[in-house]
């Protein structure tokens, strides 16, 4: 019987192992609570990132949704987590998408039924609100049976005098305020499941601004709970329109 030489020994080292391949991990043997936690870590965005029409979705979101294709059971479990735990923007906030269908209108009813939190931006396109910002039946608002929280964020208050001459023909300082109130009223009317409306704004907008007063009055009229968002940090005892830095500057008469 011949002995192996050095060359044969080297070849043996580089040959593929003949050991059986590792078996797939028994993911569905895990407890349901643990599987849901894994889905949550995979499918929810960092921080308070809002899911919106965005050119970066193919890079940031689409790869995560590949788990929908793994199996029927994983799809049924995962899509409920994705649509139930993320915040979705109701209307596009970029002029690039003003002539395209909003994200909500692109979703099938089963996905809409799972959404629990939506984000409404008031301000984009304020000089001439785009047609996509509407409450028509085709938008799919009536399918939002699980929606509990509507986040309303005010980006601009066109009633300020600095906007004189920029509002458009035959438009005074109140027209956009009434437009926003009608839009919000139409949304809340079609989605009775909403329990809480979170109202927030950019720092340049004070709490007693006409647009804030009008929107908060509509929220109270609809018998929804009004809470103030984290950016402004308003509360019942807070000085109207003041952040911590603003209060300090006011005290110094700056």
Q: What pLDDT band is residue 13 in, cutting at 50, 70 and 90?
A: low
Which residue has tokens 């009633």? 159
Segments forming the whole domain that contains residue 76? 27-85
Q: What pLDDT band is residue 168 in, cutting at 50, 70 and 90?
A: confident
Q: What pLDDT band is residue 135 in, cutting at 50, 70 and 90?
A: very high
- Pairwise CA distance, residues 43 & 40, whole Å: 5
Average pLDDT over residues 200-215: 93
Residue 252 has pLDDT above 80, yes or no: no
In a domain, 171, yes or no: yes
3-state SS class at 129: coil
In a domain, 14, yes or no: no
In this structure, the answer to whether residues 52 and 163 fall within a common structural domain is no
3-state SS class at 149: strand
- Pairwise CA distance, residues 167 & 60, whole Å: 37
In this structure, the answer to whether residues 250 and 127 fall within a common structural domain is yes
Nearest to 243 by CA among 207, 190, 193: 207
Residue 241 has pLDDT above 50, yes or no: no
Residue 148 has pLDDT above 80, yes or no: yes
In a domain, 176, yes or no: yes
pLDDT of residue 246: 47
Nearest to 191 by CA among 152, 146, 138: 146
Average pLDDT over residues 181-200: 97
């Amino acid at each position: 019987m011949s002995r192996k030489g050095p060359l044969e020994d080297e070849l043996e080292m580089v040959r593929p192992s003949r050991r059986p391949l590792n078996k797939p991990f028994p993911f569905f043997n895990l407890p349901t609570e643990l599987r849901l936690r894994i889905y949550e870590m995979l499918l929810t965005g960092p921080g308070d990132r809002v899911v919106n029409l965005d050119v970066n979705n193919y890079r940031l979101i689409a790869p995560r949704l590949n788990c929908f294709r793994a199996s029927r059971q994983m799809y049924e479990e995962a899509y409920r987590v994705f649509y139930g735990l993320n915040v979705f923007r109701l209307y596009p906030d970029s002029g690039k998408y003003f002539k395209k269908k909003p994200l909500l209108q692109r979703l099938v009813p089963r996905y809409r039924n799972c959404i629990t939190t939506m984000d409404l931006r008031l301000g984009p396109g304020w000089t001439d609100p785009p047609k996509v910002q509407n409450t028509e039946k085709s938008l799919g608002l009536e399918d939002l049976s699980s929606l509990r929280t509507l986040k309303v964020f005010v980006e601009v208050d066109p009633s300020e005098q600095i906007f004189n001459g920029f509002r458009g023909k035959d438009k005074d300082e109140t027209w956009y305020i009434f437009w926003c109130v009608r839009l919000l009223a139409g949304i809340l009317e079609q989605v009775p499941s909403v329990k809480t409306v979170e109202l927030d704004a950019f720092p340049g907008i004070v709490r007693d601004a006409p647009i804030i007063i009008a929107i908060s009055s509509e929220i109270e009229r609809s018998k929804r709970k009004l809470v103030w968002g984290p950016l402004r940090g308003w509360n019942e005892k807070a000085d109207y329109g003041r952040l911590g830095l603003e209060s300090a500057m006011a005290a110094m008469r700056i």
